[in-house]
Amino acid sequence: MRKKRRILIVDGYNLIGANKELFNESKVSLELAREELITALAEYQMVTTFEIIIVFDAYEVKSKESVLQKHGLTVIFTKEKETADEYIERFVHDNYHPFLCEISVVTSDLTEQNAIFALGAYRISSREMWLTLEDSEKNISKEIDAINRKLPRQKLDIRPDVLSEFEKWRRGLK
């Protein structure tokens, strides 16, 4: 039986705008804010079954559409005069299939949510996505802590005078 493809498509600038720290950072360096978002979503992808696609619009920029692979994610910069919303709607229309492909779209744009919902995709608000990312980060930290607790200790806490005695025994001085 064929496995259903699960895609999470993210309106990148919308998600940046929904996070106070990233929004403030984007005023200083949009590239750095994008990198931090990509890193957060890459970490999330490691613990989920979604294939993640992030769309940044290049509406005001004279360029062709570009597609990059970064940290296991697909990052798309739309072509000139195309918004991320337009790209996402076209993507959902072209790729959604009720039995073969489940698509969830992350955006807080209400008209966009309604449009993609009408096409069959699920909608996730940007606020809800940030909460999911925070929970995911906490769960990852808990799992790492649990693994570290199970690992054998690398070094024993031994007083220096006892270590000195052991060293004498090791050298055959006693």
Question: In terms of residues, how long is the chain?
Answer: 174
C-alpha dihedral sign at 126, 12, 138, 51:
positive
pLDDT digits (tens, 9 = 90+) for 22-69: 999 999 999 999 999 999 999 999 888 899 999 998 756 677 888 889
Specify the pTM: 0.76
Distance CA 58, CA 84 (A): 8
